[in-house]
Amino acid sequence: MNVKDCKKMFLQFWRSDNGKIVLIRDIAVALLAVLIVLLLLWSYTGQWFAAPMVAIESGSMEHPNSPFGRLGTIDAGDMVLVQKVYSRNDIAVHGGNFGGAQAKNGWQTYGDYGDVIIYHPDGDMKAVPIIHRAMCWVGVEIIDGQRTYTIKEFGIFNETSFGPILELGLLTNEKPNWSHSGFLTKGDHNDLFDNLPNEGILESTQPIKLDWISGKARLEIPWFGTINLFFLDIMNGKNNLGNVHEDCLLCLGIVIAILISIPILLDVKDYLRQKKKEQP
Protein backbone atom coordinates (compact mmCIF):
# COMPACT_ATOMS: atom_id res chain seq x y z
CA MET A 1 0.00 0.00 0.00
CA ASN A 2 1.48 3.30 -1.10
CA VAL A 3 1.16 6.75 0.44
CA LYS A 4 -1.61 7.77 -1.94
CA ASP A 5 -3.78 4.80 -0.92
CA CYS A 6 -3.18 5.50 2.80
CA LYS A 7 -4.18 9.12 2.30
CA LYS A 8 -7.35 8.08 0.49
CA MET A 9 -8.33 5.64 3.25
CA PHE A 10 -7.69 8.27 5.92
CA LEU A 11 -9.85 10.85 4.13
CA GLN A 12 -12.65 8.31 3.75
CA PHE A 13 -12.45 7.52 7.47
CA TRP A 14 -12.28 11.20 8.43
CA ARG A 15 -15.20 12.32 6.23
CA SER A 16 -17.45 9.30 6.78
CA ASP A 17 -21.01 9.87 8.05
CA ASN A 18 -21.41 6.26 9.20
CA GLY A 19 -22.50 6.28 12.87
CA LYS A 20 -20.05 3.62 14.03
CA ILE A 21 -17.14 5.22 12.23
CA VAL A 22 -18.07 8.64 13.62
CA LEU A 23 -18.05 7.17 17.16
CA ILE A 24 -14.65 5.51 16.62
CA ARG A 25 -13.29 8.73 15.11
CA ASP A 26 -14.49 10.84 18.06
CA ILE A 27 -12.95 8.43 20.57
CA ALA A 28 -9.66 8.38 18.65
CA VAL A 29 -9.53 12.19 18.52
CA ALA A 30 -10.28 12.44 22.25
CA LEU A 31 -7.56 9.91 23.11
CA LEU A 32 -5.08 11.70 20.85
CA ALA A 33 -5.87 15.02 22.53
CA VAL A 34 -5.34 13.48 25.99
CA LEU A 35 -2.03 11.95 24.85
CA ILE A 36 -0.81 15.28 23.47
CA VAL A 37 -1.68 17.06 26.73
CA LEU A 38 0.07 14.36 28.78
CA LEU A 39 3.18 14.53 26.59
CA LEU A 40 3.31 18.31 27.02
CA LEU A 41 2.89 18.00 30.81
CA TRP A 42 5.46 15.20 31.10
CA SER A 43 7.93 17.17 28.97
CA TYR A 44 7.55 20.28 31.11
CA THR A 45 7.61 18.58 34.52
CA GLY A 46 10.04 15.74 33.78
CA GLN A 47 7.65 13.37 35.59
CA TRP A 48 7.57 10.79 32.80
CA PHE A 49 4.71 8.26 33.12
CA ALA A 50 3.93 9.57 36.61
CA ALA A 51 1.31 12.01 37.88
CA PRO A 52 2.49 15.45 36.67
CA MET A 53 0.20 17.37 39.03
CA VAL A 54 -1.32 17.17 42.50
CA ALA A 55 -4.56 18.41 44.05
CA ILE A 56 -4.25 20.54 47.19
CA GLU A 57 -6.13 19.08 50.15
CA SER A 58 -5.51 21.55 52.99
CA GLY A 59 -5.23 25.27 53.61
CA SER A 60 -1.69 25.21 55.02
CA MET A 61 -0.35 27.27 52.09
CA GLU A 62 -3.15 29.82 51.79
CA HIS A 63 -2.60 33.53 52.42
CA PRO A 64 -4.83 35.79 54.53
CA ASN A 65 -6.88 38.49 52.79
CA SER A 66 -6.61 36.75 49.42
CA PRO A 67 -8.81 38.29 46.69
CA PHE A 68 -11.98 36.62 45.43
CA GLY A 69 -11.03 33.37 43.67
CA ARG A 70 -7.64 33.26 45.44
CA LEU A 71 -5.55 33.29 42.29
CA GLY A 72 -1.76 33.34 42.65
CA THR A 73 -1.58 31.34 45.89
CA ILE A 74 -1.95 27.66 46.73
CA ASP A 75 -5.31 26.90 48.31
CA ALA A 76 -7.40 23.80 48.94
CA GLY A 77 -9.03 22.75 45.68
CA ASP A 78 -6.22 24.02 43.46
CA MET A 79 -3.97 21.85 41.33
CA VAL A 80 -0.27 22.47 40.68
CA LEU A 81 2.20 20.92 38.31
CA VAL A 82 5.07 19.01 39.93
CA GLN A 83 8.39 19.73 38.22
CA LYS A 84 11.12 17.18 38.93
CA VAL A 85 14.24 18.31 40.80
CA TYR A 86 17.64 16.70 40.38
CA SER A 87 19.88 18.52 42.86
CA ARG A 88 19.78 20.82 45.86
CA ASN A 89 20.57 23.75 43.57
CA ASP A 90 17.29 23.20 41.70
CA ILE A 91 15.42 24.53 44.75
CA ALA A 92 15.50 28.20 45.71
CA VAL A 93 14.95 28.56 49.46
CA HIS A 94 13.07 31.38 51.14
CA GLY A 95 16.01 32.15 53.44
CA GLY A 96 16.58 35.08 55.77
CA ASN A 97 18.84 38.11 56.11
CA PHE A 98 22.04 36.21 55.23
CA GLY A 99 21.01 34.31 52.11
CA GLY A 100 18.23 32.83 50.04
CA ALA A 101 15.60 34.51 47.89
CA GLN A 102 14.44 36.91 50.60
CA ALA A 103 17.91 38.39 51.17
CA LYS A 104 18.33 38.94 47.43
CA ASN A 105 14.74 40.14 46.93
CA GLY A 106 14.75 37.44 44.27
CA TRP A 107 12.72 34.45 43.17
CA GLN A 108 9.09 34.35 44.33
CA THR A 109 6.36 31.75 43.89
CA TYR A 110 2.78 31.73 45.13
CA GLY A 111 3.01 34.99 47.02
CA ASP A 112 6.31 34.58 48.89
CA TYR A 113 10.04 34.04 48.40
CA GLY A 114 11.52 30.73 47.33
CA ASP A 115 10.21 27.47 45.89
CA VAL A 116 7.36 25.33 47.14
CA ILE A 117 8.24 21.63 47.20
CA ILE A 118 6.21 18.43 47.33
CA TYR A 119 7.74 15.81 49.60
CA HIS A 120 7.03 12.58 51.49
CA PRO A 121 7.30 13.26 55.25
CA ASP A 122 10.21 11.40 56.83
CA GLY A 123 10.65 9.54 53.54
CA ASP A 124 7.42 7.55 53.97
CA MET A 125 6.37 6.96 50.36
CA LYS A 126 2.97 5.65 51.51
CA ALA A 127 2.15 8.87 53.37
CA VAL A 128 0.18 11.69 51.75
CA PRO A 129 2.73 14.09 50.16
CA ILE A 130 3.13 17.51 51.76
CA ILE A 131 3.35 20.71 49.71
CA HIS A 132 5.17 23.43 51.68
CA ARG A 133 7.75 26.13 51.08
CA ALA A 134 11.47 25.33 51.28
CA MET A 135 12.70 27.77 53.93
CA CYS A 136 16.41 26.91 54.21
CA TRP A 137 18.99 24.15 54.16
CA VAL A 138 20.31 22.90 57.48
CA GLY A 139 23.67 21.16 57.62
CA VAL A 140 23.86 18.64 60.47
CA GLU A 141 27.19 17.23 61.67
CA ILE A 142 27.64 14.67 64.44
CA ILE A 143 31.22 14.35 65.72
CA ASP A 144 32.00 12.30 68.85
CA GLY A 145 28.35 12.49 69.84
CA GLN A 146 28.29 16.28 69.51
CA ARG A 147 25.66 17.56 67.08
CA THR A 148 26.12 20.94 65.35
CA TYR A 149 23.94 22.89 62.95
CA THR A 150 24.75 25.20 60.07
CA ILE A 151 22.02 27.33 58.46
CA LYS A 152 23.79 29.89 56.29
CA GLU A 153 20.60 31.74 55.39
CA PHE A 154 20.17 32.72 59.06
CA GLY A 155 23.84 33.27 59.90
CA ILE A 156 24.23 30.05 61.93
CA PHE A 157 27.52 28.16 61.56
CA ASN A 158 28.47 25.00 63.49
CA GLU A 159 26.31 25.90 66.48
CA THR A 160 25.12 23.33 69.04
CA SER A 161 21.70 25.02 69.11
CA PHE A 162 19.84 27.68 67.17
CA GLY A 163 16.97 30.16 67.50
CA PRO A 164 14.93 32.20 67.68
CA ILE A 165 14.28 32.47 63.92
CA LEU A 166 11.18 34.48 63.08
CA GLU A 167 10.99 33.29 59.44
CA LEU A 168 10.54 29.73 60.75
CA GLY A 169 8.14 30.80 63.47
CA LEU A 170 10.73 29.65 66.02
CA LEU A 171 10.65 31.79 69.17
CA THR A 172 12.94 29.71 71.40
CA ASN A 173 16.42 28.18 71.26
CA GLU A 174 16.32 24.56 70.10
CA LYS A 175 18.57 21.48 69.86
CA PRO A 176 16.54 19.06 67.71
CA ASN A 177 17.63 15.46 67.47
CA TRP A 178 18.19 15.52 63.71
CA SER A 179 20.23 12.74 62.14
CA HIS A 180 21.02 14.28 58.75
CA SER A 181 21.13 17.47 56.67
CA GLY A 182 18.23 18.62 54.53
CA PHE A 183 15.62 21.27 53.81
CA LEU A 184 13.44 22.84 56.49
CA THR A 185 9.92 23.56 55.26
CA LYS A 186 6.93 25.58 56.36
CA GLY A 187 3.38 26.14 55.20
CA ASP A 188 2.73 29.80 54.41
CA HIS A 189 -0.38 29.73 56.62
CA ASN A 190 1.29 27.86 59.50
CA ASP A 191 2.90 29.51 62.51
CA LEU A 192 5.79 27.06 62.92
CA PHE A 193 8.02 25.16 60.52
CA ASP A 194 7.44 21.45 59.95
CA ASN A 195 10.56 19.76 61.22
CA LEU A 196 10.70 20.43 64.94
CA PRO A 197 9.99 17.12 66.76
CA ASN A 198 7.20 17.22 69.37
CA GLU A 199 6.43 20.91 68.77
CA GLY A 200 5.72 21.61 65.11
CA ILE A 201 2.82 20.35 63.04
CA LEU A 202 4.81 17.12 62.74
CA GLU A 203 4.58 16.89 58.97
CA SER A 204 8.16 15.62 58.95
CA THR A 205 10.25 15.38 62.11
CA GLN A 206 13.53 15.34 60.16
CA PRO A 207 14.99 17.74 57.55
CA ILE A 208 13.81 16.88 54.05
CA LYS A 209 16.28 14.79 52.05
CA LEU A 210 16.46 15.39 48.31
CA ASP A 211 15.24 11.87 47.51
CA TRP A 212 12.09 12.46 49.58
CA ILE A 213 11.08 15.28 47.23
CA SER A 214 8.72 14.53 44.35
CA GLY A 215 9.34 17.93 42.80
CA LYS A 216 8.66 21.64 43.08
CA ALA A 217 5.33 23.31 42.42
CA ARG A 218 4.94 25.08 39.10
CA LEU A 219 1.88 26.92 37.77
CA GLU A 220 -1.53 26.93 39.38
CA ILE A 221 -4.70 25.38 37.98
CA PRO A 222 -7.23 27.02 40.29
CA TRP A 223 -10.33 25.29 41.66
CA PHE A 224 -10.31 22.14 39.46
CA GLY A 225 -8.61 20.05 42.14
CA THR A 226 -11.94 20.25 43.98
CA ILE A 227 -13.30 17.59 41.62
CA ASN A 228 -10.44 15.27 42.59
CA LEU A 229 -11.03 15.96 46.31
CA PHE A 230 -14.71 15.10 45.90
CA PHE A 231 -13.95 11.60 44.63
CA LEU A 232 -11.10 11.06 47.12
CA ASP A 233 -13.45 11.95 49.97
CA ILE A 234 -15.97 9.40 48.72
CA MET A 235 -13.36 6.66 48.44
CA ASN A 236 -11.48 7.40 51.68
CA GLY A 237 -14.25 8.69 53.91
CA LYS A 238 -12.56 12.07 54.42
CA ASN A 239 -13.83 15.65 54.22
CA ASN A 240 -11.06 17.51 52.41
CA LEU A 241 -13.77 19.15 50.32
CA GLY A 242 -14.69 21.08 53.45
CA ASN A 243 -11.32 22.89 53.22
CA VAL A 244 -12.26 24.50 49.89
CA HIS A 245 -13.44 28.10 50.31
CA GLU A 246 -16.87 29.14 49.08
CA ASP A 247 -15.52 31.66 46.57
CA CYS A 248 -13.41 28.91 44.97
CA LEU A 249 -16.44 26.61 44.74
CA LEU A 250 -18.42 29.43 43.12
CA CYS A 251 -15.64 30.12 40.59
CA LEU A 252 -15.44 26.40 39.74
CA GLY A 253 -19.22 26.28 39.23
CA ILE A 254 -19.11 29.29 36.91
CA VAL A 255 -16.27 27.83 34.82
CA ILE A 256 -18.00 24.42 34.53
CA ALA A 257 -21.26 26.13 33.53
CA ILE A 258 -19.44 28.06 30.80
CA LEU A 259 -17.70 24.92 29.50
CA ILE A 260 -21.00 23.02 29.38
CA SER A 261 -22.83 25.88 27.70
CA ILE A 262 -20.34 26.28 24.84
CA PRO A 263 -21.23 23.07 22.93
CA ILE A 264 -24.94 23.61 23.67
CA LEU A 265 -24.81 27.13 22.22
CA LEU A 266 -22.90 25.86 19.19
CA ASP A 267 -25.56 23.17 18.60
CA VAL A 268 -28.31 25.79 18.92
CA LYS A 269 -26.49 28.02 16.48
CA ASP A 270 -26.18 25.15 13.96
CA TYR A 271 -29.86 24.27 14.46
CA LEU A 272 -30.98 27.85 13.81
CA ARG A 273 -28.75 28.08 10.75
CA GLN A 274 -30.23 24.84 9.39
CA LYS A 275 -33.81 26.02 10.03
CA LYS A 276 -33.04 29.25 8.24
CA LYS A 277 -31.82 27.32 5.19
CA GLU A 278 -35.00 25.20 5.16
CA GLN A 279 -37.26 28.26 5.04
CA PRO A 280 -38.74 28.96 1.60
Of residues 279 and 160, which shows the higher confidence score? 160
Residues 68 and 20 in one domain: no
Shared-domain flag, residues 198 and 65: yes
Query: How much is the average pLDDT of 272-278?
Result: 72
192: in domain: yes
Please indicate, yes or no, if residue 254 is contained in any of the structural domains: no
Q: Is the pLDDT of residue 246 over 80?
A: yes
Report the range out of 44-53, 197-206, 242-251 with the highest average pLDDT.
Answer: 242-251
pLDDT at 118 (0 to 100): 96
8-state DSSP, 242: G
Q: Return d(Cα 166, Cα 179) in angstroms, integer.
A: 24
User: In this structure, what DSSP letter does residue 202 have?
Assistant: -
Q: Is residue 88 part of a domain?
A: yes
Lowest model confidence (mean pLDDT) among 7-16, 215-224, 236-245:
7-16
φ and ψ at 7, to 5 degrees?
A: -65, -40
Q: Is residue 240 part of a domain?
A: no
Q: Which one of 223, 246, 271 terminates a domain?
A: 223
Cβ atoms within 10 A of the Cβ of 153, count? 24
Res. 8: pLDDT tops 80? no
Residues 145, 120, single domain; the answer is: yes
Please check the confidence at residue 121 and state whether its pLDDT lies above 60.
yes
pTM, whole model, 2 decimals?
0.84
Q: Are residues 118 and 15 in the same domain?
A: no
**Length reported for the chain:** 280
In a domain, 256, yes or no: no
Is position 65 within any domain?
Answer: yes
pLDDT of residue 280: 62
Asked if 96 and 151 sit in the same domain, the reply is: yes
Count structural domains, the chain.
2
Domain span at residue 28 reads 1-44
* pLDDT per position as a tens digit, 189-208: 999 999 987 654 556 789 99
- The reported pLDDT for the residue numbered 194 is 92
Residue 95 lies in a domain: yes
Could you give the percent of the chain with pLDDT greater than 70? 93
* Segment 253-280 mean pLDDT: 80
C-alpha 124: how far from chain center: 19
Residue (of 280, 115, 147) closest to 214 by Cα position: 115
Same domain, 18 and 79: no
Res. 29: pLDDT tops 90: no
CA nearest 64: which of 189, 181, 235, 164? 189
pLDDT for the residue numbered 22: 73
140, β-bridge pairs? 149
Strands (E), 187-276: 213-221
Among 46-60, 125-139, 169-183, 218-232, which stretch is predicted with the lowest mean pLDDT? 46-60
19 shares its domain with 156: no
